[in-house]
Structure 1
Amino acid sequence: MRIPCPLCGPRDRREFTYYGSDDYLNRPAPDAGAGPWDDHLHLRANPAGETHDLWYHEAGCAQWLRVHRNTVSHEIYGAALVAGLKGGAQ
């Protein structure tokens, strides 16, 4: 699988570290309690089909990317810098 890094160009997925759904950026409030924080840190959805995921370009530009891809076909539709997204991941 090749991920199109906006800064480095297409790169092999082994240059990246996968962090899961971009919903991970939507954190509970600091005072939400242990339950919501435990869910946020340890429970992840595993959808089949189109997703938006967070990937860290560890062996490249060291940027966070939001990758639009298909988990069934492994097709990559595009990628954007997380820092460049208005208000975080949307």
Structure 2
Amino acid sequence: MLRIDCPWCGPRDETEFHYGGQAHVPFPADPHALDDRQWAEYVFYRDNPKGPFAERWMHATGCRRWFNAVRDTATYQVLATYRLNEPRPDVLSEGGNR
């Protein structure tokens, strides 16, 4: 079973968490100016890389807080977790978990 390190509660089983999609997706500056194609791109289109990927997670059965995680999509290993107000860690040079 995968262990995820909640920034507030510490390491817990993956069954306690809910996946929230790609992290760091900015809300449109002027949403009323978007046409249907642009809205579709904002709502549905996300990156799908092989390797480290920043994601949002929520500790559903614990503190119920949202946080970000960098997970390797090829190995499923969680490389780092960090709070929403913190910058994305450089896991390629640090190579570690929070």
The aligned length equals: 86
Distance across 1 between alignment mates of 2:14 and 2:38: 31
The alignment status of 1:68 with 2:45, answered yes or no, reads no
More deviation in 28-37 or 42-51? 28-37
Equivalent position amino acid for 1:61 in 2: C
Distance across 2 between alignment mates of 1:45 and 1:75: 18
Paired-residue identity, % = 34
Specify the alignment match of 1:21 in structure 2: 22
Specify the alignment match of 1:85 in structure 2: 86
Unpaired stretches in structure 2, ≥5 consecutive residues: 90-98
Runs of 4+ in structure 1 off by over 3 angstroms are none
CA contact (8 A) 1:28 1:37 kept: no
Considering Cα pairs closer than 8 Å and 6+ residues apart, tell me whether 1 or 2 has the greater RCO.
1
Task: Supply the RMSD in Å over aligned alpha carbons.
Answer: 2.0
Distance across 2 between alignment mates of 1:37 and 1:61: 32
C-alpha deviations, 1:39-67, integer Å up to 9, x for none?
Answer: 11112222110111111111111111110
Unpaired stretches in structure 1, ≥5 consecutive residues: none
Distance across 1 between alignment mates of 2:13 and 2:37: 37
Task: Measure how far apart 1:35 and its partner are.
Answer: 2.4
